[in-house]
Every structure is written in structure tokens, then in C-alpha cells.
Structure 1
């Protein structure tokens, strides 16, 4: 190639590069021709217009921390004068309440609820559901950083822990049906007539897996662990209520699909999420434990002393493993006692120097000992307690005020005993006693 032609090509290449650079600079100038203050003010206007654009306001299911807590539905109707009408399913008060809000500009644009309303129940550190969250509350926020809009939704991130929160357009039905969320809560908890044991069953279209399922109403949180040997999958699920079922977060992943919306079936108490290609997840009842243990053997003759205690004025009363039927029976006992008296504890002593007995203590009256024998149902992995005497007197009948609750410990079908994986504030191991033929379960500490 001649030198003259080479210079021509080099000149053309340099010219092209200069033109590209000019275009890039022009694009950059167009991109950054607004000052940071202008951009923030534009975002403020954008958010303000968005909040006012939905006739029925906005809905958010707020999972403050889905590793320990469930979701809380909030409805918002914003007004141009800086007021907001808000309702939530945090508790039985689902009525709308009016307060104030502001769109604030700092390093970013944020929506802040400036006067107290339902959303602040999640951020109050003095309002906590379990001892582990003492001084932390429900880990919620009342200031939300604006991150734009997508598919008609407003995207925020919480100021406290940078969690994404989306506002979706609410409907008139959302406001009218909000109290139904709390009806659904009772369906999730389960009535006295429902079996005590639940499982989560997943189907990826070809294979079914089963997991135990334990739900804590105070935190709206569930844990689910595989019961299959060699299959170590588990799910920790925050639960949010809807009028027709529940939302779980994080989603249950089955066969590569994420299932988060479960529909309730009142006929059998199940909740079902359905994907495509036969993929599904079902939370349903079963009449016996998924895994049977040998923990009942602590009560059999010849074993060392064991002492199990349930206490009305201590953390065992709040255990998520206690059944609704237990609480109902405690109320029956107290209703039958004279004024000023109440049941204080139920303790089970096995292989004590004076035998095996159920020890009932009270406020305002002397304790009672129900002496029993313990027989083994080896096939069913249960212990069957049989009456011997009250306070050593074989001729005394069961006191009338204890007859209703005591019969569950004397269940002819026996009792399941299980060491639980959780603790109740103290380090003492936790054991549950479950009637084999009824939905009665009591949580105890193993104190000896």
C-alpha cells in the first residue's frame, strides 16, 4: 500500500473516532443535563402523582423480615393535602384510620408516614411478638425510599433494612374484604376440631416430597423440614393472610417454579398452590405425627427420674406447639374454680420416689397429685397413662374441675411425646405431650 493511501485511511479512522466521541459526549450531556436537585424534585413530583393516581389507593403486603416474621397487609388512600387513610390486618382493628404523610427529599426521595398510624405498629420497638424480638418490635419501618415504577406498581425499599416493598393498586373489594384476612388467620391456626399434625407436600410433576409443618401465630411464621432420610430440604416461610388463603414469602420452589399463593379449602382445612405441568404444594392435616420418636420411654418404669413442666405464668404458655384445645381446657378449669383461684401449672413426674404422677398446682389452693401407671405401646410409639389414685387415695374420684382436662392425659389411645428443636427463652429442652385421639397438645420444659 502506498504511503499516501495509508495516510488517507488513518485520517478517516481518526475522523470517525472523533464523531463517535462527540456523540457519546452529547448523550452524556443529555443524560446529566439536570442537576441532582432537579432530578430529585422531578422524582418527588412523579411519586406524588403516582400516589394520588389510584382511585382506591394502594395495597402492600409488608414482610418486614421473612426469616422470622410473616406479612401484614396495609391499605393506603392518599390525599393531596398530605393526609392518608390507612387500614391493616395487624390485629382485629381493620377500620380505616387517618394520619399524615410526606414525600421527603434527602439523598433520595422517600415516602414517610409522619404521624402515628397502623404502619407504626410494625416499627415500635416496645411492641414485640416474642421474647427474641424484645426491643426490636416487628422489624418494620415507616419510611420508604422511592425506586421507581414498574407495571403499574410503585417500588420502594425500606429505610431500615433495604427490603423491597411494592405498592399495587387497591380495589374497593380490598377495603371491604380486609376483615376476612383475620378469619383466614383462624383457618391457618386451626380450630379445636382439626387434627394437630400438619404436613407440607410438594409435587414437581413426577415426585412427591413430604415435610412437617409448624406454624406460630404470634409471628405469622412457619417452619417445614423434610421427613425423608437423605433429603435435607427445608422451608422457613413468612405467612401473610388473604381473604381466600395465604401468601408465603419466600416462595416455595418446586420443580423450578416459585409458588407463593395458596388457596384455602374449608372442607379439609388444606391450602393449595398450583403451578403448571403438575407442579403443586399443599399444606394439609394428618391424624398422627409424621415422625414417631422414642421420647415416650422417659415415662416407662425403670427409667431415671424425669420432670416435665408446663407453667401458666411463664414462656411455656406462649409456645406455638400448644393446641387451641389446651387453652380452652385451661379456661374451663378456671371457670369452675371459686373466685380468686386458678390453675398455675401442670407437671409430669415420671419414676419419682413416690411414683409417676401428674402434679397440678393452683393459685389460691393446695396442689393435687394424680398418680398413674405408664404402659408402653411399642408399635405406636406411645405411652398410655392409667389412673391409680388422687393424692394416694384410691377411693377419691377425679375432682370435677379437673375432669375435662385430665381425661386427655388418660387417653386410652395414649400420648405421643416429642423432643422439639426449639427453645422457650431458657436453655431447658422442650417436650410436647399430644393426645393420640384428640387435638390436645401441651408444651413443657424437661427440667430433670
Structure 2
């Protein structure tokens, strides 16, 4: 071999040795821990990390944002395996102490091992809607550790494998947690607010209005477009904050994700603001965005129809208004303990008669308010006008006990009538009757 070629060969051999040496060193560094040692290091990392935040950690837990809202939980961990916890699951925002542990199996996880506020979301007997019977709020109480990001602790839930972030809590988070419950009342809306709402989006040049409906128990809302040629809908879980709400999934307007809505006490609206004039606002409206013709089948000359509010199945329906519930409660509070108003039924074209039936338990006689019907074609309402009161056997004066609720049903502006697209407990179609003069709405089953 020529000396020149020998020299080249030696250079190549030297480079190869150096490359091999570097590769071996990297591999040794990468695999210098066994899997068990790496898991033990992660366990210590999480155990230490949980103790680093002065005021503990906050998690807004959306267990399933396709049908449920979010629940704020606060945690303050101590080195003896105890955790102080509070949540806005209900009006009890006090903090309670329970046990936790950092578990080691195929991965590292945080386990809340004794009952506390977060277990309310995993109790299968505690469900907000009929569709979730046996599933509860679909929550978890064991969370798989996936590291840190920008000071947050990243977990994934044990059962559904969805991401959950713990962010560092503040003193205000603990002090103001009860304000979330006050905000919940603002989202539901008081007796002095209109019943109807819209979600108005603004992309900077064009506004669109969508019918907005909120269901209190699951903390979930739907919004559907009402404009011809504009087909859009949003389904969103809602979480309360002291200053407004957070929604998940985000309301997307012109490519911008809007999640944080600030509350305006003066008009009861909630607004999320983006850039370039982009915004979304949940606001009240005095009448439905869509006026249906559903009332027309109840006018004279049509087939017999009967619709019934039945307690307790429809008392807490999302479409039964607060005012309606309060009037029903007031009636029952003025009755003997063994007697209650159990049904309010509306009969149309029953052998030529229209009437409202008030049915009681405990042997109290049923009362009937005979009415005539007419149409308000402009507002698309049916107007029920007084004719007479009676029992099954005789005419009677108007009963004072029923005056307030009956005045709502027979108000001079009439009732909006809507055939709803959901069911409650039974397969009967749901119909709602809403005053055009106030925020009274009663939910009924179609009974024939």
C-alpha cells in the first residue's frame, strides 16, 4: 500500500473511532438510569413540586366539555400527605382536609385517596342530567403526571386521558372562590332579567346572532344560528369565575379562540374580546330570536290537545323559569302539608272548550279556569282570555290562591308556544308556554 493511501486510511480510522466514542458516550448518558430509577426521580419531582407554591394550586376541571361545564378546585398540599381542598361545585366553598399520595406504577400519578370535594365529580349517583345517570359528572380523582410547562403542572386524567393543568393559586383564588357561586346566579339570570338570550358574534365587520340556551345543572350551553344562509352552532361547557365565565371549547370567531367572558352587571351581558374588532357577547333579548308557529295547532277548530306540567318531573327543567318555580312554591307554601299543586294542565279544543286545570294532591278538589283563545299574529302568541272558574260540579269565584300564576298564563300579550327538541325523564314531547309580558315560562309534557 502506498504511503499516501496508508495516511488516508489512518485518518478515516481515527475519525470513525472518534464518532463511535461520541455515540457511545451519548447512549450511556441517555440510558444511565433504569426505568425504575427514572420513575422514582419523577415521583420525587412531583412530590416536591406540589409543595412549591405558597398558596397551592388551582385547576378548572372540565370533565367532558361536550356535555358538561367546568368546576374550579383549589389544593394546598403538605408534606405529611394531607391536602386542603375547596371547590365551587355547589354553595359550600369552604375548604376541607383529606389524604393524598403520589403513586408509582407504570407511571407517576397524583391520587386523592380519601373523600373530598373532587370526589363529587366521580360519584355515579350524583348526575346532573338523565343522560348521565350512573355516570355522574364523569370526573376522576387520580391524575397521571406529565411534567411541567411554564410553571404549570401537566396531568392527564386516569380514565379519559384528557389534559388537566394545575396552575399556581393566589390568596385571592381562595378568598374569592365564593364569588364564583354569585356569578353562577348571574349566568342563570334573576327574575328581573328577560328569559331569552342570544350569542352575538362580531368578526370586525359583520355581526351574527345565535339563540343561546344555558342549562344550570350540567353548566352547559348551546347556541344555534337563526339567520337564513348562516349555519353555525356552538356547544360549550361553562366555568364560573369571580368576574365572569370561562367557556370550553372556545367560541371561534374569525380564527380567534374566545374563552374568557367578562360580566357586565348593568345589562347582565358577558363579553369576550379579541383583536381587530373581534368579539362575542352573551346578551338578553325580550323575545325569542325565532318566533314559531307552534301555537297555531291550539287555536279553535283544531284537534283536541292537552299539555301538562307535572311535579316533580318538570319542576327543575332547564326551561321552567325561576319565576314559575317561585309561584308554584308560593302556592304550595300556602297549602296544608298533605296537599300540593301537582299538575297545571292546558286543554285546547276539548269538545269546544279550552281551559286550564289545576290539580292537587291530598284530596283537594281540582279547579278549572275556562278560557277563550285568540291569536296575536304579529307577535305569534296565543292569548288565553278569562271566561269562568269552576270545580267539577259548580261555578266558583276566582281563587286567590292561584291568582299570580293564572295571571301569567292569561296575560293580555299572550303566550309564546314552542315544541322543544329534548326529552325529560319520559318520552313525551316537551312543549313550553312563555309569557310575552314577563319572564314566566312553564314546561309541559304533550299528553296526547
TM-score tier, shorter chain, comes to over 0.9
CA contact (8 A) 1:388 1:394 kept: no
Q: After TM superposition, give the deviation of residue 313 of structure 1 in Å.
A: 2.3
Distance between the aligned counterparts of 1:16 and 1:425, measured in 2?
Answer: 77
Alpha-carbon distance in structure 1 between the residues aligned to 2:237 and 2:335: 40
Task: State the partner residue of 2:397.
Answer: 397
Match of 2:331 in 1: 333
Superposed counterparts of 1:20-419, under 5 Å:
20=19, 22-314=21-313, 316-353=314-351, 355-364=353-362, 365-391=364-390, 396-419=396-419
Change (3 A) 1:414 1:39: same
Look up the SS of the partner of 2:412 in the other structure: coil
Distance 1:199-1:16 versus aligned 2 partners, 3 A rule:
farther
| Deviation of the 1:391 alpha carbon | 2.5
SS at match of 2:111: strand
Q: State the distance in 2 between where 1:116 and 1:159 align.
A: 17
Give the drift of 1:267: 0.5
Q: How much has 1:338 moved relative to structure 2? A: 3.1
Distance in 2 (alpha carbons) for counterparts of 1:17 and 1:203: 64
Task: Check whether the contact 1:213–1:223 (CA below 8 A) recurs between aligned residues.
Answer: yes
- Alignment gaps of 5+ in structure 1: none
TM-score, normalization by structure 2 = 0.95
Alignment correspondent of 1:420: 420
In the TM superposition, what whole-angstrom CA distance separates every residue of 1:322-369 from its partner, at most 9, and x where no partner exists?
A: 110010100111122234211001111111125111111111212111
1:91 counterpart SS class: coil
Paired positions, count: 445
Instruction: Describe the shift of the 1:428–1:15 C-alpha distance in structure 2 as closer, same or farther (beyond 3 A).
Output: farther
SS of residue paired to 1:52: coil
Taking the aligned partners of 1:335 and 1:6, their CA distance within structure 2 comes to 108
CA-atom RMSD in angstroms = 2.0
Q: How far does the alpha carbon of each residue in 1:157-184 deviate from its partner, in whole angstroms, 9 at most, with x for none?
A: 0001011100011111110101100000
Deviations 1:275-318 (A, max 9, x none): 1111111000000000000001121001111111110122x222
Q: Deviations over 1:89-136 (max 9, x none)?
A: 111111110001000000000000011100111111111112211111
- What CA distance in whole angstroms lies between the structure 2 residues aligned with 1:8 and 1:232? 76
Task: In structure 2, list runs of 5 or more residues that go unmatched.
Answer: none
